[in-house]
Amino acid sequence: MMKIALLLALAGTAGAMHVRVGARLGGGARPALLVRRAARIGAPAAPRPLASSAASAAVPAEPSGPGAFARFSELFSNLFPLWTVLSAGIALKAPQSLAWFSTSFFTGALAMLMLSMGITLTVDDFKRVLSRPGPVGLGFVLCYGMMPLLALAIAKALALPAPLTAGLVLIGCINGGQASNLCTYIARGDVALSVIMTTSTTIGVLGMTPLLCQWLLGTMVPVDARGIAESTAQVVLAPIVVGMGLNKLFPKTVKQIEPFCPIVGVIATCLLVGSSVAQVAGPILNAGLPLQLGAALLHTIGGLASYLLFKASGSDEKVSRTAAIETSMKSSAFGFLLAKLHFGEYLVRVPAAVSVVWMAVIGSSLAVVFRLMGDGSGSTGK
């Protein structure tokens, strides 16, 4: 082996001498000819590509870090339904494990969720959405028109008792949930449109929910208008405005941390779901199969019907995905609170407790299915 290595080294030296002599005698074309001849007769032009190949092999190592994390973020987001089911399962099995997640933590997690969405948005995104208010208006009609009637029809079809029927209809009469913004982001929908839809239905709950409950259930459900307005401003709008400001002031930094956004949002949402479920673990476990089926059908049919209606109206894929998720994902925890405060019958709050789980599972599943379908074209609808 030593002799072979020595012969190769001597041959390499000789090849290099030929190249230098050729360069002095014949200008630029001749050295290349000598190199080719040396390669044909076994002279060692071969060691030279080894250095270049080693250098090229080192090139991909530089971007592998961010690329690897982006792939991890993608995988983590695609498993969103699994994390939702696991968090709900832990809350049902050991509700005391989430006793530490108090109201202040709940509010903080919701604000963190909205902040993680806000830094992906710009003022132009909202200008674009507001310039064509059609999708927002149609989404509002589906939220407070289709969903209450769908809930009533499902309850009648399953022959649910009157208290459970009231609870399921109440879910249909409330606003969209903030977790829909995260699911829209994962689904590659229009996040700005999702935020405006959520905000419009949250404001709309002040008048629509009492009227619908009076009309469909014969019960006037008062809501704290001032409290809801303050909560919406503090927990939804303020974090989004802060996130947009960060995006405008530090765009490069935001671009680097953007792969963290869905991870933060998924973790925050799972904590929110787990905390809500832990508070009503008993009623959820005691709920019968018809109620479980009714809650699942409400969120599934509502989402799919909204998607098809928006597509039929001429809206593009991104807007249709956004509307499907926004319509499907109701603020079930708020519905539970209303049932607890304003209905004397304990069973009325049980559908809201069951809906907390199904809303999160169906919404996250829709988000992942849409994501796997690929990017939607366009960004606004008719």
CATH of the domain at 98: 1.20.1530.20
What's residue 371's pLDDT? 92
| Length of the chain, in residues | 382
Token pair, residue 168, equals 């399921």
**Range(s) of the domain holding residue 278:** 83-372
- Whether 185 is in a domain gets the answer yes
Asked if 338 contacts 224 with a C-beta cutoff of 8 angstroms, the reply is: no
Closest of 138, 110, 326 to residue 235, by C-alpha: 110
Specify the DSSP element, H or E, that contains 98. none
Token pair, residue 84, equals 């939702």
What's residue 177's pLDDT? 87
Q: Which residues of the chain have pLDDT under 50?
A: 1-43, 45-46, 49-65, 378-382
What's residue 201's pLDDT? 92
Q: Enter the DSSP assignment of 152.
A: H
- Whether 214 is in a domain gets the answer yes
- 380 φ, ψ (degrees, to nearest 5): -130, 160
Closest of 199, 191, 197, 200 to residue 117, by C-alpha: 191
Task: For residues 13 and 112, give the distance between their C-alpha atoms in angstroms, rounded to a whole number.
Answer: 65
What's residue 246's pLDDT? 93
What's residue 237's pLDDT? 84
- Whether 232 is in a domain gets the answer yes
Q: What is the DSSP string of 292-311?
A: HHHHHHHHHHHHHHHHHHHH
- Whether 8 is in a domain gets the answer no
Q: Name the β-bridge partners of 330.
A: 176
- Whether 51 is in a domain gets the answer no
Specify the DSSP element, H or E, that contains 115. helix 103-118
What's residue 33's pLDDT? 42
Report the amino acid identity of residue 140: F
What's residue 220's pLDDT? 66
Residue 358 CB contacts under 8 Å (≥ 6 apart), including other chains: 292, 295, 296, 298, 299
Q: How far is CA 293 from the centre of its chain?
A: 25
Residue 283 CB contacts under 8 Å (≥ 6 apart), including other chains: 349, 350, 353, 354
Residue found under tokens 């002799």: 3
The pTM of the full predicted model, rounded to 2 decimals, is 0.72
**Max CA distance (Å), the chain:** 104
- Whether 252 is in a domain gets the answer yes
Q: What is the DSSP string of 160-173?
A: --HHHHHHHHHHHT
Query: Cα dist. 326→53, 133, 253, 323 in Å?
Result: 51, 15, 30, 5
Instruction: Give how many domains the chain has, as a whole number.
Output: 1
- Whether 336 is in a domain gets the answer yes
315 three-state secondary structure? coil
What's residue 205's pLDDT? 86
Q: What is the dihedral of CA 36, 38, 40, 42, to 10 degrees?
A: -150
- Whether 70 is in a domain gets the answer no
